[in-house]
Amino acid sequence: MTPRRILVVEDNPLNLKLVRDVLQFAGYDVIEAQSGEEGLRAAREDPPDLVLMDLQLPGIDGTETLRRLRQGPLGRDVPVVAVTAFAMAEDRARASLAGFDGYVEKPISVRELPGQIEAFLDGRVV
Amino acid sequence: MVADPSERSSRTTRITRDSSRQFQELRDARHQWAASREILAALGRAVDNPGQVLDTVLEYAARLCGAHAVQLFLLDGDVFRVERVSGDTPEAYRAYLLDHPIARSRSSTVGRAAEDMRTNQIADVLSDAEYGRHDLQKLTGFRTLLSTPMILQDEVVGVLSMWRTDVKPFDDRERELLEEFAAQGAIALRLESRGAELASKVGQLEALREVGEAVGSSLDRDEVLDRIVSNAVRLTGTDGGSIMEYDESGDSFHVRAASGSSPDLVEQLRAITIDRGSTLVGRTALERKPLEVPDLAQAELDPHLEILFRDGWRSVLAVPLLRGDRMVGVLVIRRRTVGTFPPEVSELLQGFATQSALAIVNARLFRELQTKTKELEIASQHKSDFLASMSHELRTPLNAVIGFSEVLLDRMFGEINERQDEYLRDILNSGRHLLELLNEILDLSKVEAGQMVLEPSTFGVGSALEYTLKMVRERATQHAITVTVDVADGVDTVVADELRFKQVVLNLLSNAVKFTPDGGSVSVRAYREGTDLVVTVADTGIGVPPEDQERIFESFQQGRRGAPKEEGTGLGLTLSRRIVGLFGGRLWLKSTPGSGSTFGFSVPGLPEREDEVASPERDKLPVVVLVDDDRASLDLLSVYLDGSGTRVLRARDGVEALEQIRRVPPVAVVLDIKLPRLDGWQVLAELKADPATAAIPVVIASVVDDRPRGLAEGADEYLLKPIRRDELVDALRRLGALGESS
């Protein structure tokens, strides 16, 4: 079975590297994007199986990127998961209102992230 | 990194303190208005009995100034003889004082007040070398003395004097209050000495009372001043008048209110600047006594008088408006006819002057506080915006610190040696600690900015407690600390914000585990108190010394709680207390050094229950029902009754109060008047109409000042807010609701 592709949209290079390394270690293919625009481009060129997206991005933000992804390259079926800060109930509420399929909390847990991603991919978490 | 947040948070604390001091001042000012209004109302009721006026003056002075006793001395030849005494004074002292009057000399505060014709305070008689009445001191034990002269027509006729038996100087407000009482007392003295003039004076006092009520009830300065000046003109039988406010920055006077004046005249008066140097108004202010011009045609006219003269006015009387030593303005009365003003007119106007000064000062204070409150709100908003963005900026790099440490610790990319493992754990723990700190700073700033929104839901108390227990289990096991949870019968679900509830419990619980030595125990209990859920967390740690028991609730103050095994953030307790406050409950600490601490908090929101399940020791206690719609008042009254050997049940409105009282008949009811659904009067009427409840003593505790009605409708005691602990306890004791020893 070919590895599944995860598009990670995250503007902070260190966090991007961390998520990439952890997901690669867990056996995923990782596509990196540092902005919403880059994410849209990457999704068009190489459609992912799941998108992990920070909410606060330079340029077009996470919510707007999600909207454009849904209208264009991704359609409805690919899960898009928001990365939100802990203790930011508003952020979480906003994320679910905006139509994200779920969220993972910052700081992301190295030990839990692969399992969380797998659950989203399997559709176990709605 | 650590220095930054802590510095910011201390600023947070400072801003909070500033704002609480501002609110304290505003509250003090309000209390003072209430006090003025109260005394004026009492004087109005006692107006046909001058002796009663004096008693009222003494009684209120003692109560409102927090004095142990107040006494009135009258000048008799060259000595002051005691005329009336209020408060708690030994009988032997009164008799002794009658035989040993006070000389008009510097050996006493009474003598000094008379000699200087101004208020005199001795902070501690035992350290005042000149003080010469140690005979009186020995009989009463007084330490701090304050005296103010009672002046009629520039002569000292008496002295009002009060004392405290502890060394605690009277502050400016108390001093001003006593001065006001002295002024009222002087009028009463005059009434007493001149029976024939009584009738007209009654009218004057009533007018003063009306004015006093206006001053107390309205913050609209111009409206109050309009009423004052029109009453002054009416009662003195003159034709017109105005009130000028002194503007310190411009050192000049401005017209604020006028009566008996055409719009054209008012406009002209408003247009000019009356300076302090060369005008009648200015001289009145400088000399601090009434000045008159009996015939404007014969006088040298300043610009103000010039306008009046051209408008047809012929004689003018100006009275200074003073507040303590401060010049506030001038009250001017005028006639269209020539002639001097009788002394009674000038004397009467001084009563109006006092009220005008009070109105102006109140309005200024209020404006100032409004501005400052606004500024503080803006500062506070900036602060929380700043904190929100700062914590976001700090959190992002922390994610990397924590995440990469975990990656390495999990050997994702190969083996690491023992020392590397240890250092990585240090990095990871420090990172987590910083993150916790950030979250708490952010939460605290949200609470302070009023931006923390609670999301109440119904959840199981037991499972919420188990959840938090799980979070500390690992650590407790490591240190062989036993942790137990006990949820009392009758506690099932509670309505509150579950996330915040868990946050508070977790904070208390992790503190308890942190500060308990290896092998100790921590027990968590949840039980019901009325409709409050109470959660306590008790540990067998070293305890908190009494002097630190309040301090540890302040930010960054955990240091001295012994040697912690691991640093806490120092914000957890502050935050927990604030969150519990948002719930409408309170958080407290009971601790004995050496035998552990118990932190507890209450959360309203347990479902009502028909019959209280027996809790043997509490159920034997007599019940006192507190009824108030304001939770802060309820909390305060409850605290007053802590340790009084009673069980306090609360009700927030009249209907709830009646239900509560009928369910568990109390030994006393403490009842507010302004209540939702049924007000206090209706509750009182219902209680008295029902034979089952008619005998239950009722203490009214309200801002509504209507003792006669309260007593007439069956209340046993009437307390005016703000209420002190001893007032409440004494009242309940008199009713037999409390034991003597408590």
Three-state secondary-structure class, residue B432: helix
Q: How many A×B Cβ pairs under 8 Å? A: 54
Q: Pick A86's closest partner by Cβ from B397, B412, B439.
A: B439
Residues of A in contact with B398 (CB under 8 A): 107
- DSSP one-letter string for A26-46: TT-EEEEESSHHHHHHHHHHS
Q: Which of A15, A87, A111 sits opposite B400 (nearest CB)?
A: A15
One-letter-per-residue 3-state SS of B92-121: HHHHHHHHCCEECCCCCHHHHHHHHCCCEE
Per-residue confidence (pLDDT) for residue B5, from 0 to 100:
41
Residue B150 · residue B157 · CB < 8 Å: yes
Cβ–Cβ under 8 Å, residues B293 and B309 = no
Q: Considering just the CA atoms, what is the radius of gyration of chain B in Å?
A: 33
From chain A, pick out residues whose CB is under 8 angstroms from the CB of B395: 85, 106-107
**Calpha distance A105→A116 (Å, rounded):** 11
- Comparing alpha-carbon positions, the chain B residue that sits nearest to A12 is B396
Q: Which of chain A's residues have a Cβ under 8 Å away from the Cβ of B397?
A: 12, 14
Which residue of chain A has the CA closest to B402?
Answer: A107
How long is chain A? 126
Instruction: Say how far apart CA B582 and CA B705 lie, in whole Å.
Output: 31
Which residue carries 């400088």 as its tokens?
A: B286
Query: Do A21 and B499 lie within an 8 Å CB cutoff?
Result: no
Sequence-ordered list of residues with C-beta below 8 angstroms from that of B6, at least 6 positions apart, any chain? B556, B570
Is B588:B600 a contact under the CB 8 Å cutoff?
Answer: yes
Mapped to the 3 state alphabet, what secondary structure does B214-264 carry?
HHHHCCCHHHHHHHHHHHHHHHHCCCEEEEEEEECCCCEEEEEEEECCCHH
Record: contact B412-A89, CB cut-off 8 A: no
Could you tell me how far CA B130 lies from the centroid of its own chain? Answer: 36
Q: Kindly report, residue by residue over A69-118, the tens digit of the pLDDT.
A: 988 878 778 899 998 764 455 666 667 777 888 888 877 888 889 988 99
| Percent of chain B clearing pLDDT 90 (strictly above) | 23
Which residue of chain A has the CA closest to B405?
A110
pTM of the predicted model as reported, rounded to 2 decimal places: 0.43
E-state strands within B612-691: 623-627, 647-651, 668-671
Provide the Cα torsion B481, B482, B488, B492; round to 10°: 80
Positions of chain B with pLDDT under 50: 1-16, 47, 195-196, 198-199, 559-566, 610-615, 741-742
Q: Is B742 helix (H, G, I), strand (E, B) or coil?
A: coil
Q: Which of residues 459-518 of B touch A (CB under 8 A)?
A: 499
Return the residue in A15, A110, A116 with the most chain B beta carbons within 10 A, the one to mutate for interface testing.
Answer: A110
What pLDDT was estimated at residue B467? 86
Residue by residue, what is the 3-state secondary structure of B357-381? HHHHHHHHHHHHHHHHHHHHHHHHH
Name all domains of chain A by residue range, CATH numbers in brackets.
5-121 (3.40.50.2300)
> Does the beta-carbon distance from B396 to A15 stay under 8 Å?
yes
Mutation target for A interface from B399, B408, B410: give the one with most A CBs within 10 A: B399
